[in-house]
Amino acid sequence: MSCGTKTLKVSSFVFDFLCSVLAALTIAACSYALITFSHSMAIRVPCILGIVLGALLFFSTIFGCIAALRESIRMTWIYAAIMLALIVGQITVIFAQPINFELLANETIYDAWQGQLYRKSSMSYYEIQYHCCGQTGPSNYIDSGLKIPQSCYLGQNSTEAVDLYTVGCDQKLAKAFVKGTRWERISDWSVVGVELLTVIIAGLLAITLQNAERRRLYR
């Protein structure tokens, strides 16, 4: 085995390992989101697609490792084609089915407010954490015949009217979740970038193995 072939094999194993780790993290993150926001329609389809693509990527890397280990030209080309198909699928999901974080925020606060109406104090966490009050504002409590809770006040001090939060939690949570869009894009394109490098290395390895095979035939 030449030095170039050995280097490509090692590189292939390294990037296969990175892809498998990213695939496992994707599956874990999407599964956690589905469990945490089980009633949300905003993340259901994107997360299910993420789990499917993550599982395909994970098992594909196993196939890639076997191909590199056996130095099989055909298997290596097949692996490169599978990875290209996965890249196309992931880019399609990125543009066609991104997570709607604004809708997710609205759904989350709506569910919390429905719980609040049944005296479950479901809003207190969001009100304290995000300095907000009610679903769309303090008037939600008044209109529902409820007393404005201490969680709607700065420092939970209900004796000072000026400390009352006036912004609804749906707006506050939506702004906080918008940051998630940026991190989602970074993570998605990072996975695509690593996969693209994996495809390039697999292609170079297949070409190197083909050239070595030709040289053996002419000896």
Which CATH topology does 103-171 take?
A: Cd81 Antigen, Extracellular Domain; Chain: A (1.10.1450)
Confidence of residue 18 (pLDDT cuts 50, 70, 90): very high
pLDDT tens digits for range 90-107: 999 888 877 788 888 888
**What's this model's pTM, rounded to 2 decimal places?**
0.78
HSE-up (13 A, CA, CB side) for residue 53 = 27
pLDDT tens digits for range 31-74: 998 898 877 888 888 899 999 999 999 999 999 999 988 888 89
One-letter amino acid of 157: N
* CA distance readout (Å), 7 to 4, 13, 68, 73, 210: 5, 10, 11, 16, 16
Start-to-end C-alpha separation, the chain: 16
- Give the domain ranges of the chain: 3-99+182-217, 103-171
pLDDT tens digits for range 162-219: 889 999 999 999 888 877 677 778 888 999 999 999 999 999 999 988 887 777 766 5
